[in-house]
Amino acid sequence: MLNRKIVILFSGEGSNLLNIIEKLHNKELEVVAAITNRPDAGGIAKARAHHIPVDIIDHKKYADRESFDRALLKQVRSYAPDLVVLAGFMRILTPVITQNIKAINVHPSLLPLFKGGNAIRESFESSEPTGGISIHWVSNELDGGEIIAQESFQKEAGETLESFTAKIRALEHKLLPETIVQILKAL
């Protein structure tokens, strides 16, 4: 399956980016590029340390979401990936992207609960007995695409936001690479 190519989109520290690179790059697939919308994203150094090309497309330099998404789409298409993986990419995408690329997103809640950027805190503070993650197809609806995989855990008495977040990250680091491989094998 090494002939399969992915592009990873990220906005922050890049823990999922690094996990995918370490587990899958040049083993199961090729990470042909990483693209970020933030020039100060911590994941930039992580990708470059593994010789992954990094493109920085600063969303603040574009007049609106569609203009940014057109630039992003052009860059993604230049790599001709089989799949685009959103790994902590904190942008609401327009149909310019959602209708023109095959992409999945990892989200830190059991969708359809707790959509959006505050999902971890909202899930932690909720009365729900479980927390978890979802991997879903990217669609026109924010965190609303078809769910591909989910995994959960029981909240524990005395749980802190930090310990809850660590459990979320551990699930992401396990399930996201597995799901990427499953999808690429099915293509």
**Which tens digit of pLDDT belongs to each residue from 153-163?**
999 999 999 99
CA dist., res. 10 & res. 73, Å (int)? 15
Does residue 138 carry a pLDDT above 90?
yes
Res. 168: pLDDT tops 70: yes
CATH fit for domain 5-186, picks 3.40.50.170, 3.90.1150.10, 3.30.1330.60, 2.60.120.260: 3.40.50.170
- What is the mean predicted confidence (pLDDT) over 105-119? 96
Q: Is the pLDDT of residue 1 over 70?
A: no
The two tokens of residue 159 are 């749980």
pLDDT of amino acid 171: 98
- Inform me whether the pLDDT recorded for 2 exceeds 90: no
When pLDDT is averaged across residues 100-126 and rounded to a whole number, the result is 97
In this prediction, residues 178-187 reach a mean pLDDT of 95
C-alpha–C-alpha distance, residues 124 and 165, integer Å:
9
Predicted TM-score of the model (pTM): 0.96
From the CB of residue 25, how many other CB atoms can be counted at a distance below 10 Å? 19
Q: Would you call 107 a catalytic residue per the annotation? A: yes
CA 22/CA 10 separation, integer angstroms: 16
Question: CB–CB of 110/135 below 8 Å?
Answer: no
Secondary structure class of 77 (helix, strand, coil):
helix
pLDDT of residue 105: 97
Helix (H) or strand (E) holding 177: helix 161-186
Please, are residues 13 and 42 in contact by the beta-carbon 8 Å criterion?
yes
What's the pLDDT tens digit per position in 12-21? Answer: 999 999 999 9
Predicted pLDDT of residue 187: 87
Alpha-carbon distance of 96 to 100, in angstroms, equals: 6
Q: Output the CA–CA distances (angstroms, integers) from residue 120 to 17, 150, 179, in the order listed.
A: 19, 15, 21
pLDDT band of residue 31 (cuts 50, 70, 90) is: very high
Angle at 106 between CA 92 and CA 84, to 5 degrees: 75
Q: Which residues pair with 6 in a beta bridge?
A: 31, 83
What is residue 6's predicted lDDT score, i.e. its pLDDT? 98
Q: Where are the domains of the chain?
A: 5-186
Which tens digit of pLDDT belongs to each residue from 32-77? 999 999 999 999 999 999 999 999 999 999 999 999 999 999 999 9
**Which position among 25, 59, 107, 136 bears the catalytic label?**
107
